[in-house]
Amino acid sequence: MLELYLIKNPYVFLGVNGSREKTDLSVVGVPFDSTNSFRPGSRFAPATIRLVSQSLETYSFRSGIALEDNPPVDEGDIAVVHGSAELSLRNIAVVSDELFSSGRRVGFLGGEHTITYGIVEGLVKALGRSLCVLVFDAHLDYRSEYLGYKLSHACVTRRVSEVVGTNNVLVAGFRAVDKKEFKEAKTSGLTLINSYEALRSTTRELSLKINDFIKNCENLYISIDMDVIDPAYAPGVATPEPEGITPTTLLDVLTRIPKDKVVGFDIVEVNPLSDYGNVTSFTAAKIAIELFTHLTRQ
């Protein structure tokens, strides 16, 4: 089935493909950005992140291992249908379901944030409803609809929470909200940590808050919208927002999460067309390397 929905990319993450027999980690690109409301271009991110990853060293001081010793399997890109979020999300859900059902732990490279909805739908089908979702994002993305459309990147947290339940979703690092959206999010049961709270906390305090949410989760999926990082460090995103967290804070928090609970992650909203020297793509590739090494360390 995967052959129907996956297309090989000319670039491979890290420049070397892993062995399916030696690792349960996979990389999948999702070059979709049809609902983007400000800067289109994130469809080019999977290829760009793969390309720049080939110039990065893979030893992690946090994990104490080098990912190049046992790299993930690059599965290729999901065949998306530009102009149709419905058909693209269907393809994403099919691939997600099949990979997670086969026991893979997958890192998805977007693409816009809408792709998380399709990934989570497939993941829930593969694993059951016992799933928590941790979202790092400058925006809540909790609108019921945006410009009359429910499958917009501005609605993805709302759609995901409808799949897994609001009590199973935490959004961290947000600072750009609509007044009505914020009110609905606060009363819905979502766990919320805004960027101002995060910036006033130590890394240890922030990690304790997040891990307190995670402690009752059987399975955890992590979604990282790159605009959660301050645009001084990640300018090449679809919708930049000042007063974000630093890459170091994000990585320190991510690598303190209990690795045995993490079933997969995505990195979304990188826009190579508005980036400077591919700095945001390099940061995204670094995040993927650190997460993969965290998931593989003993």
Per-residue pLDDT of 243-255, as tens digits, reads 999 999 999 999 9
Query: Is the pLDDT at 134 greater than 90, yes or no?
Result: yes
**Distance between CA atoms of 100 and 262, rounded to whole angstroms?**
12
pLDDT band at 148 (very low <50, low <70, confident <90, very high): low
178 marked as part of a ligand binding site = no
**Rounded mean pLDDT, 164-177:** 97
Query: Is the pLDDT at 82 greater than 90, yes or no?
Result: no
Query: Is the pLDDT at 276 greater than 70, yes or no?
Result: yes
294 marked as part of a ligand binding site = no
Query: Is the pLDDT at 37 greater than 80, yes or no?
Result: no
Question: Which H, E and C letters describe the chain, residue by residue?
Answer: CHHHHEECCCCCHHHCCCCCCCCCEEEEEECCCCCCCCCCCHHHHHHHHHHHHCCCCCEECCCCEEHHHCCCEEEEEECCCCCCHHHHHHHHHHHHHHHHHCCCEEEEEECCCCHHHHHHHHHHHHHCCCCEEEEECCECCCCCCECCECCCHHHHHHHHHHHHCHHHEEEEEECECCHHHHHHHHHHCCEEEEHHHHHCCCHHHHHHHHHHHHCCCCCEEEEEEHHHECCCCCCCECCCCCCCECHHHHHHHHCCCCHHHEEEEEEECECHHHCCCCHHHHHHHHHHHHHHHHHHCC
pLDDT band at 1 (very low <50, low <70, confident <90, very high): low
225 marked as part of a ligand binding site = yes
Query: Is the pLDDT at 129 greater than 80, yes or no?
Result: no
**Rounded mean pLDDT, 14-21:** 95
139 marked as part of a ligand binding site = yes
* Domains of the chain from N-terminus onward: 2-296 (3.40.800.10)
Per-residue pLDDT of 197-237, as tens digits, reads 999 999 999 999 999 999 999 999 999 999 999 999 999 99
pLDDT for residue 243: 97
pLDDT band at 123 (very low <50, low <70, confident <90, very high): very high
252 marked as part of a ligand binding site = no
Query: Is the pLDDT at 4 greater than 90, yes or no?
Result: no
